Chains A and B, each alone.
Chain A
């Protein structure tokens, strides 16, 4: 027995030094696989599996292995530990995932130091990509949603807006993006509330909005119990009957609609993905997800971020002839492809994604079920946050 394990060890050592080892590329995915945002980690995993089953698990002769690490919730310390261990112990060549921005911020210095590329599937703080030259973004930035929403609102006759966001960094970012853009268009922000994260009952905030008599309210509330409570309070107080439109980010995304229920009707939002997008790539994705993962709901921005993230990682391996080369990030700058979200490109200047933003409205379908109808498309949106700084 002992001599056999020695043999195995010798064999493994030989293999490790030999060419077979070089033919595996390891991808480390850091994501919430448990806890309140587990749905995002599940969508990442499902859509990575889907991508690999459609495109094979070999690129340029190398096998692509994916390893998952669970961050639970927003946990920068744990994320940093996972990223370090993935790089040092598991020898991953490239990282992916990242749902919470604070987690991604914690990974930045490690990526820079280890010279390992990281692909952000969701985390949306605009300046994240500037914290390490090794970041590439296939999710979206907060301003890519906030600014088109503001422009659409002004174009459609909305002049006075009340902003109500959750009081944390993402909320502030959406607030600033919307305010900057809407006032530049000529609109007026007549009230702004940053609502504490521990708010259970939103009725007081809804009453403040009603008192201010705006044309519309712009909200950002992380989807889940708080966003449902907000929309229910708005419905109970008759916000829409008073002619106040509700605009948001992802509170009424298609996967949220069963939980939110009828109060989601007529809520507007701006994002880079909708299940109802008619393009061929999306129709194929929606069908494949429904066939393979019927219990996990329709694909959402998390799925598309992961699916496209894998495409970018595959391209890096392709460009490096079977490995993640030192210039992997450089090699995908300007990369263009047809995504389920529509035409997509990695911005060669900022390493963000350039994509269409869809203005969506929740309506009742012919089957009586609510869905998001795309009512306007703003093509090829570069991150407006970086654009706005360039102009100054």
Chain B
């Protein structure tokens, strides 16, 4: 096996797998921040809550990894559903600074709560046997977990794209975000639609936290630790574009993986350089439309 094949095989496969992780943990934010235009820095709080719920339900009730992912989604969505009318709805369409301050406050509360409930250590994820091994592709092995991420991330991408671009609910959501008063005038209950969309975004956050937990372990600091990562993905993608988020996540995954592999000295800020250049070139993101 020559060096070029090994390099490509490694960078492409691990890059895509890492890109899928980025997509899974960011897609919820591309709904709550991207689609709904809410500066939701607390995205990681929902992800951490979902991940913690998934892991502790595995420990407490002995359920498997896949059902636990549903628990993660449900936990994120439930918390979102409760907090939306109380904390988020009053700030819709308001000042971004207020939104930032509120959501940072929410992160701090989440960190303290997780510390109280679970302690400061990362929560252990016990992987099912079928996810432990690896698949032999001939020129290299792909760990099952990474293969699982690639497949499930791809399916989720497709499902979300179909929902938002090809269904009536998707059309209503887009209409309500683009022009709330017009949407209301044609009979769309924007208040309920927003609550539903936000809840769904928080559910996706919880799902992403749970799915990524083996690679990005859940601990109280989670909402801050990965905050820059989520924001970079969503800001490069541009607001309101799930498909864009998917492409950007994959691109960044491959780029970061290649960067760490080839030039580890600069890999820490490579992603930020790319973000700065891209945003200077296209301030609304690669796939975003001007606001």
A259 touches B123 (CB 8 A): yes
- Kindly identify, within residues 217 to 276 of chain A, every residue whose CB is under 8 Å from any CB belonging to chain B: 224-225, 228-229, 232, 236-238, 255-256, 258-261
Q: Which residues of B contact A35 (CB under 8 A)?
A: 111, 120, 220-221
List, in ascending order, chain B residues with CB within 8 A of A84's CB: none
Q: Which of B141, B257, B267 has the most CB of A within 10 A?
A: B267
Q: Which residues in chain A, 50-92, are within 8 Å of chain B measured between CB atoms?
A: none
Q: Which of chain B's residues has its CB closest to A208's CB?
A: B261
Beta-carbon contact of A256 and B121 below 8 Å: yes
- B269 CB–A CB distance under 8 Å: yes
User: B226: nearest residue on chain A (CB-CB)?
Assistant: A200
| CB <8 Å contact, A261 and B124 | yes
Q: Shortest Cβ distance from A75 into chain B, in angstroms? A: 14
Contact bitstring B194-238, A, C-beta under 8 A = 1, else 0:
000000000000000000001111011110011011000000000
Q: Report Cα–Cα, A228/B124, bound state, in Å.
A: 10
Q: Does A1 contact B (CB under 8 A)?
A: no
Query: How many A residues touch the partner, as a band?
Result: 35 or more
CB neighbours of B214 from chain A (8 A): 232
Residues of A within 8 A of B268 (CB): 167, 196-199
Check A236–B145 contact: CB distance below 8 A: yes
A196 to B219, CA, bound (A): 20
| A38 contacts the other chain (CB 8 A) | yes
Q: Are B264 and A194 in contact (CB under 8 A)?
A: yes
CB distance from A211 to the nearest CB of B (A): 8
Q: Are B124 and A200 in contact (CB under 8 A)?
A: no
Return chain B residues, CB-CB under 8 Å to A225: 122, 216-217, 219, 221-222, 225
Indicate if B119 sits at the interface (CB-CB under 8 A): yes
Interchain CB contact (< 8 A) of A201 among B21, B112, B265 = B21
From 186 to 206 in chain A, residues with beta carbon under 8 angstroms from any chain B beta carbon are 193-201, 203-205
Q: Is the CB of A39 within 8 A of B119?
A: yes
Q: Check A207 for interface membership: any CB of B closer than 8 A.
A: yes
The interface residues of chain A lying within 8 Å CB-to-CB of B152 are none
Interface string of B123-147 (1 = CB under 8 A from A): 1111000000010000001010110
Known: A204-B261, A225-B216. A297 touches B121 (CB 8 A): yes
**Interchain CB contact under 8 A, B217 and A229:** yes
Complex Cα gap A34–B21 (Å): 28
Q: B42 to chain A: closest CB distance in Å?
A: 17
Q: B218: nearest residue on chain A (CB-CB)?
A: A225
Question: With A200-B216, A200-B226 in contact, is A205–B260 under 8 Å at CB?
Answer: yes
Chain A residue contacts of B112, Cβ below 8 A: 34
B46 within 8 A of partner (CB): no
Q: Which residues of A contact B14 (CB under 8 A)?
A: 201, 203-204, 207
Contacts of B111 in A (CB 8 A): 34-35
Chain A residues contacting B143 (CB-CB under 8 Å) are 236-237
**A42–B216 CA distance with the chains assembled, in angstroms:** 24
Tell me if A295 counts as interface (CB < 8 A to partner B). yes
Is A37's beta carbon under 8 Å from chain B? yes
Which residues of A (270-319) have their CB < 8 Å from a CB of B? 295-297
Q: How many Å lie between the Cα of A225 and that of B224 in the bound state?
A: 13
Instruction: Please state if A196 and B122 are interface contacts (CB–CB under 8 Å).
Output: no
Q: Could you list which residues of chain A lie within 8 angstroms of chain B, going by C-beta atoms?
A: 34-39, 42, 167, 193-201, 203-205, 207-208, 224-225, 228-229, 232, 236-238, 255-256, 258-261, 295-297
A34-B111, A35-B111, A229-B217 known, 20 other contacts, Cβ within 8 Å:
A38-B115, A38-B120, A38-B220, A39-B119, A39-B121, A196-B264, A200-B216, A200-B229, A201-B215, A201-B257, A204-B257, A204-B258, A207-B14, A224-B121, A224-B219, A225-B216, A228-B217, A258-B124, A259-B124, A261-B124
Kindly list the 5 A-B residue pairs having the minimum CB-CB distance in the complex, ordered from nearest: A196-B268, A204-B260, A36-B221, A236-B143, A204-B261
A-B contact pairs, 29 of them (CB 8 A): A34-B111, A35-B111, A35-B220, A35-B221, A36-B220, A38-B220, A39-B120, A195-B264, A198-B229, A199-B260, A199-B268, A200-B226, A201-B18, A201-B257, A201-B260, A203-B17, A203-B18, A203-B257, A204-B257, A204-B258, A224-B121, A224-B122, A225-B225, A228-B217, A229-B216, A236-B143, A259-B122, A259-B123, A259-B217
